[in-house]
Amino acid sequence: MAMGDEKAVGSDTKHIEEQSHSSDEEITWTQAEEDAIRHKLDWQIVPIVTLMYLLCFLDRANIGNARIQGMAKDLNLIGYRFNWATSIFYIIYLTVEVPSNIILKRVGPRFYLPMLVVGFGFVSMCTSFVKDFNQLCVARAFLGIFEGGGK
């Protein structure tokens, strides 16, 4: 190796060390800055997530209230049909949770969570238009998809 080549290699190494040193300095957080960011995110995210959980639990209780108010008679839910309609929700809900978390990591919460909330609202609204047991089961399955995705 010639003398000039050694100087070139040495200067490249020194330049790389300077770059890595300067990039380390850019990423510095004080504890106060980290706490401020965490509190800001908490105040933005926690109320929205709390509202989403409230709506999910409200929906789970609504099918029982609808049954008491005459849904079983209107949709001819005899025997175990009501139990199947409620069970389909939980089967789909549990099945969708893990794949939904994978999708959430790839797509990001910015687009995925609002899509789930809008889908949940749309399916909840459409549930009021069901006319028979099959339509109720399909609506409950879609509710399971949208609610299981948000967990």
The whole-chain average pLDDT of the chain stands at: 81
pLDDT exceeds 80 at position 122? yes
Helices 81-107 and 133-149 meet at what angle, rounded to 10? 30
pLDDT recorded at residue 137: 94
| Three-state SS annotation for 28-41 | CCCHHHHHHHHHHH
Distance between CA atoms of 30 and 110, rounded to whole angstroms? 27
- In the chain, where the domains are located: 35-149
pTM of structure: 0.66
pLDDT recorded at residue 94: 92
pLDDT recorded at residue 24: 55
User: pLDDT: is 14 or 82 the higher one?
Assistant: 82
Give the tens place of pLDDT for each residue, 66-95: 888 888 888 988 889 999 998 999 999 999
Give the tens place of pLDDT for each residue, 36-67: 888 888 898 888 888 877 877 777 778 888 88
pLDDT recorded at residue 81: 92
Confidence of residue 3 (pLDDT cuts 50, 70, 90): low
Q: What is the signed CA dihedral for 95, 56, 105, 38, rounded to 10 degrees?
A: -150
User: pLDDT: is 127 or 26 the higher one?
Assistant: 127
